[in-house]
Structure 1
């Protein structure tokens, strides 16, 4: 569907889907939009630079729903779409063709999964996930293997949102302190 244009404004029609997260691909300029539908259903839709819908990611190859919600979304250096699904308490990673590569539910017991919010990736392929219930940020490799906790409850208070900037510093938005804190992530991780 072509976007509507007025002056310098462009609109993408999502029809009866509500957009709740958005990401611009550093790989090809595509726009990834995480959406939900009243009455159930969640998906990620990929639009090209012209605003044309080119892909919908909603179900796996067995026809099972991939997402409960698509709160935060990002893309990895290898083109995987990484989504935090708070409702299902999991991180869902799909490849370029929309097939599930892996899911991550945290390092806790199966009854107490990670409630992921912010999610970002860095230049070396790590996936960073905020866990506001345990006041920490988890780091995964690009294949979903847990590596460590970057930041801990001593350093954070209710981390919700994440950003990795051009210098690979991590910015963490914390809801209980109303602060954004910047960490020298890669220097600290490899020290």
Structure 2
């Protein structure tokens, strides 16, 4: 069993992730510089630096099980973006705006990916607490869609995970329920299914940050 080292200054969101090979990636937060570090599963004790982040505040991290790419949500004052790294720490792309030049993110908190390579992000609106979104990027990092569409629909997404070859599970922080979002075969259908099913199947959490009861 891997034991995550003590991490200081953590925002207590999605600051750690596992790789396809069983290693643990986590963000070691610093005042002037934060480091993405890896705990190697080979001996459970070796720790190596993967990448360093300066000027931006990292919040969450995800390691793709498909290609090993690392996605890190960061923010700085009024801006936020996702930085995509290769498995060895090279910056591949920075995802901040859509094709129209509009900002995609307010405050990304958790990241996951599905079997098609799409990236799902839970994003909080820091100016309107309780009005967050699920933002979906395609396998190339291009903005695809978000849920909910209505700006005035109260939604407070927190943790998120995609079941292999199945739906996405999203924790709704205000109600303490887990939303089961079915994953159709294409983005247009997916968006329609989320939009037309405002009351998805739910499961209740005993404690929202820990135990799931089916």
TM band (smaller chain): 0.7 to 0.9
Shift of 1:125: 3.6
CA-atom RMSD, angstroms? 2.5
- Where does residue 150 of structure 1 map in the other structure? 202
Residues 25-174 of structure 1 aligned to structure 2 (within 5 Å): 25-37=64-76, 39-87=77-125, 89-105=132-148, 111-142=152-183, 143-144=190-191, 145-146=193-194, 148-151=200-203, 155-156=204-205, 159=208, 173=209
Q: Which runs of 5+ in 1 are unaligned?
A: 160-172, 174-179, 185-191
Change (3 A) 1:110 1:53: closer
CA distance in 1, matches of 2:158, 2:86: 26
Under a length normalisation based on structure 1, what TM-score does the superposition of the two structures give? 0.72
SS at match of 1:73: strand
Q: Is contact 1:132–1:158 with CA below 8 Å preserved after alignment?
A: no
Q: Which 4+ stretches in 1 moved above 3 angstroms?
A: none
SS at match of 2:145: strand
Shift of 1:111: 2.7
CA distance in 2, matches of 1:137, 1:45: 27
Aligned length: 156
Q: Which has the higher strand share?
A: 1
